[in-house]
Amino acid sequence: MSKAIGVMDSGIGGLTVAKEIMHQLPNENIVYVGDTARCPYGPRPSSEVKEYTWEMARFLYNQQIKMLVIACNTATAVVLEEIQTAFDIPVIGVISPGARSAVKYTKNDRIGILGTSGTIKSKAYETSLSHLRPSIETFPLACPKFVPLVESGEHAGSMAKKIIAETLVQLKNTNIDTLILGCTHYPLLQPIIEQYLGPSITVISSGDETAREVSAILAYRNELNARHEKKENRFYTTGSSKIFGQVARQWLQNEELNIQHVRLPRN
Amino acid sequence: MSKAIGVMDSGIGGLTVAKEIMHQLPNENIVYVGDTARCPYGPRPSSEVKEYTWEMARFLYNQQIKMLVIACNTATAVVLEEIQTAFDIPVIGVISPGARSAVKYTKNDRIGILGTSGTIKSKAYETSLSHLRPSIETFPLACPKFVPLVESGEHAGSMAKKIIAETLVQLKNTNIDTLILGCTHYPLLQPIIEQYLGPSITVISSGDETAREVSAILAYRNELNARHEKKENRFYTTGSSKIFGQVARQWLQNEELNIQHVRLPRN
């Protein structure tokens, strides 16, 4: 069997990235690990985020993957470069692809960024955006209520509409033309966010754009699978495989997922 | 000065790709060559396309570029792989990025492809699309009247509207949800094409997507310019620098372009 693409996240949010990779690259296999037992990473000190992320990275690396995707904004901000330097396979995070896509779409150089408090505090998107185009003005907004909405399965109801409206009202009068969803949970809220903002603002999902770059980089390295093999996607969680499985089956619209509990080896 | 990105085309069409690279990567310098004297490549035998494309590729390679973009669908179809194998820098064409983006956007796996007769005959997009996702159904359409429209500067008038409507009527009842503009001239017709098709069809410019992949690959190789230097874009044409200059200044909305006539060295 050909090598898989490794995807890791502090929990379930990275499943939106995995789903998009499956959509864009149906010939590829994925091995996913979510550190649900220690989720969320956002409020943790960097040293812990670093330690836990390295545990997942080594676990996936030992599965003979051909590429590693850090599908977690917090972990990307803290430890991406270190892992890129250490590994002999391509390693990408979710921040640069989102920033790159926003630079493509904006016409007035005014870009909004939604994220968890940790991601917004890290200013990782601002750094990446100004690196690409110094003239860009950013409007970051922490949305601490969004992840709980998604985790509780309330991402499509009237409560979601209310919370999204109350949060995004702060972007009024900013005149942004592009908005980055800087958290892998947020794509599940995207329809309501787009409805609230109207058609004049382009909403970018970092996760979707990351999948796009996985495709581009594997093609550049001539490592895309040339044909469709029997799918062998595997999902590991450090927490309850039952709860993880419920969410994964719903999000990925697939009842037959190979989900296992895993105890990550210490570094 | 840091190394530039090389962009080449049979003529002026590749300027749409160059423009998009300048938009997405304003810190980078570009060196462009258009083989206007021998344009169009479409009707030429493959052996000639190969010979001429190699002349441009070597000319650019000798300018110390860090990446080469073949911004011409015909040349990409004929000679991309050969140049990729021969050069020690990344080389990309316009076909795979367009195909990859279409696979991202389509929901019903029905994709239209517009191109010159040569590109449509080559089936290069079909090959690339089916490689990515075997279930995709394609609806290719040669548009021989589109390039003359653009070359004659008529890309925004009533004649353009008429010709586009007469051509695209053939896509009626195909139920495509995504359309690839498989020629670097066509982005200038994109507003009218989108207006004719309506909002239910996503229109993808191969050129825009190519620029996006230039950004992703240079980032992956850690070769993006970290800061904004004095711009040193250079444009070479094998034909009249006066005519090339008129088009280039209009398309790039820049009056101060460094444009020179060049005689390409034989291989």
**Nearest by Cα to A144 from A128, A163, A126, A169:** A163
Strands across the sheet with B202-205, in order?
B137-142, B110-115, B178-181, B202-205
What is the mean predicted confidence (pLDDT) over B208-222? 92
Strands across the sheet with A202-205, in order?
A137-142, A110-115, A178-181, A202-205
Whole-number pLDDT of residue A200: 93
Catalytic residue of the set A30, A83, A114, A183 = A183
B216 closest CB neighbour out of A24, A25, A100: A100
pLDDT tens per residue across span A164-213 = 999 999 998 999 999 999 998 899 899 999 999 999 999 999 888 899 99
Residue B39 bears catalytic tag? no
Q: Which residue of B has its CA nearest to A97?
A: B216
Cα A204 versus chain centre, distance: 12
Question: Strand pairing of B110-115 and B137-142?
Answer: parallel
| Distance (Å, whole) CA A155 – CA B189 | 39
Is the pLDDT at A2 greater than 90? The verdict is no
**E-assigned strands of B98-157?**
110-115, 137-142
* Interface-testing mutation among A132, A206, A229, with chain B (most B C-beta atoms within 10 A): A132
CATH 3.40.50.1860 in chain B: give the residue spans. 5-93+209-261, 95-206
The nearest CA of chain A is from the CA of B133 a distance in Å of 6
Q: How many Cβ contacts (< 8 angstroms) between chains A and B? A: 74
* A207 marked among binding-site residues: no
Is the pLDDT at B1 greater than 70? The verdict is no
Residue B183 bears catalytic tag? yes
* A17 to A3, A23, A121: CA distances (angstroms): 18, 10, 23
Structure tokens at A28: 């590829």
CATH code of the domain occupying B5-93+209-261: 3.40.50.1860
CATH code of the domain occupying A95-206: 3.40.50.1860
ipTM of the complex: 0.79
Whole-number pLDDT of residue A40: 83
Catalytic residue of the set B12, B15, B49, B72 = B72
pLDDT tens per residue across span A80-136 = 999 999 999 999 999 999 999 999 999 999 999 999 888 898 899 999 999 899 999
